[in-house]
Structure 1
Amino acid sequence: MTSYALRERHLLADLLLEVGPDAPTLCGDWVTADLAAHLVLRERRPDAGLGVWIPAFAGWTDKVAASLRDRKTYPEIVELVRHRPWWIAPLDETINLIEYLVHHEDVRRATSGFEPRDLTEGFEHAVWGRLRALRLLLGNESVRLVAPGVGERTAGTSPTVTVTGPPSELALFCFGRQRVAQVAYDGPEESVRALRVAKLGL
């Protein structure tokens, strides 16, 4: 069985080394060094990852991330990103496929001139399978997602906006990367405009 999550992990690690520690990302004010540290803490120090989601723990997260950057060089941190902990392997496709796809594109698309990748049909179907929890991702938004040739999913009741694109691009949309997601919107202009800037994702 192909490990798409592992492939995205390796491609992201290669890109992190290529662009260096100070390259921009689509993760707010994070540069690539911050993103790399986040990915390491997420898998190796889950106690320190809480600050990403819970403001009260942000200070602890920042402290542990700073300690990691003090103890390790940037290439060493990227190598920790590249080599997943042993216990991740059985869960990798479930918990990491979208994570690494989105963060890979966070680096690729942070500067102008990017081109969408030509991803395989198997990869796109795997991503579509991970987009089942739409209600969790889209909050109160009512949206119809259409992946031509793959399937359709609806979040909410009576959606007025349809978003169409390959599963990988719909994943970027669902995780709040509307600005760079290569998708098409169909619906009332006001609703589309609001959806383009809505806070989506976990």
Structure 2
Amino acid sequence: MGATQHRTPLDAREREDLCDLLAEVGPDAPTLCEGWTALDLAAHLVLREHFNRWTDAKMAAAKAKGLPALVDRLRAGAPLLPWCIPGLRSLLNGAEYLIHHEDVRRANGLGPRAGRPDLDEAAWKTSRLTAWRAARKIRPHGLELRTPDGRARHFGPGGGAVLTGRPVELLLYLSGRRDAADTHLTGDPEAVAALTNTGA
């Protein structure tokens, strides 16, 4: 990873890389978002950043512009407020683009990205909120996240479900991409069943 790439915020890098991938796979390529093609995903991202609720009519209108136009709109960047406020941009857009980049990659036969500790760091930060939401759904059981390098986070009482994997994989699991996430779920059988039965 070059020095220039290091200086570019992760959300901007993920945006540009996702735009490249969308252009490469084409509008009809599948994604991990059930029922959505690459065109649907691009339309969603454009509408989201411009504070439009993505009703069926607005989605249809956005998709009618075609994938190249939507990708060009995404490449142009988000509106200045609030997306470009330092600190908020990573919170608002970092995980969004990371997850949706993986949605397109993995649905089209591209596996996890190696040698990208920046992605894992971003995912580890974001996983705090997604894991907290998942843990609320399985009360009174607890949830623990573990990574191969020995990091751990606990939510609720001990002795519950234990989800192990690289941070990006944990984030994918917790955001509903379970089948695509390279994770291992162990722990108390009741807690494991509770987590498995949630939409997390």
SS in 2 for 1:132: helix
**Range 145-154 or range 8-17, more displaced:** 145-154
Tell me, in whole angstroms, the C-alpha distance in 2 between the residues paired with 1:148 and 1:108: 23
Structure 1 consecutive aligned stretches of length 4 or more whose deviation exceeds 4 Å: 188-191
Matches within 5 A, 1:146-165: 146-149=146-149, 151-165=151-165
Q: Residue in 2 aligned with 1:128?
A: 124
**Superposition RMSD in Å:** 2.1
Tell me, in whole angstroms, the C-alpha distance in 2 between the residues paired with 1:192 and 1:169: 17
Q: CA deviation at 1:73?
A: 2.4
Q: Residue in 1 aligned with 2:3?
A: none
Tell me, in whole angstroms, the C-alpha distance in 2 between the residues paired with 1:38 and 1:15: 16
Q: CA deviation at 1:168?
A: 0.9
Tell me, in whole angstroms, the C-alpha distance in 2 between the residues paired with 1:38 and 1:31: 11
Q: CA deviation at 1:158?
A: 3.4
Q: Residue in 2 aligned with 1:65?
A: 59
Matched, 1:145 2:142: no
Unaligned runs of 5+ in 2: 1-6
Q: CA deviation at 1:39?
A: 0.4
Q: Please, which of 82, 91, 94 is the counterpart of residue 91 of structure 2?
A: 94
The percent of aligned pairs where both chains have the same amino acid is: 39
SS in 2 for 1:162: strand
Q: Normalising to structure 2: TM-score of the pair?
A: 0.82
Tell me, in whole angstroms, the C-alpha distance in 1 between the residues paired with 2:197 and 2:31: 18
Quick one: structure 1 residues 15 and 151, their matched pair in 2 at CA, closer, same or farther if it must change by over 3 Å? same
Q: Residue in 2 aligned with 1:21?
A: 27
**Range 23-32 or range 74-83, more displaced:** 74-83
Tell me, in whole angstroms, the C-alpha distance in 1 between the residues paired with 2:41 and 2:162: 31
Equivalent pair of 1:137/1:175 in contact (CA under 8 Å)? no
Q: Residue in 2 aligned with 1:107?
A: 104
Tell me, in whole angstroms, the C-alpha distance in 2 between the residues paired with 1:76 and 1:22: 15
Tell me, in whole angstroms, the C-alpha distance in 2 between the residues paired with 1:145 and 1:178: 15
SS in 1 for 2:152: strand
Letter of the aligned partner of 1:18 in structure 2? E
Q: CA deviation at 1:83?
A: 2.5
Q: Normalising to structure 1: TM-score of the pair?
A: 0.82
SS in 2 for 1:48: coil
Unaligned runs of 5+ in 1: 50-60
Q: CA deviation at 1:23?
A: 0.9
Question: What is the number of residues matched between the two proteins?
Answer: 186
Q: Residue in 2 aligned with 1:81?
A: 74
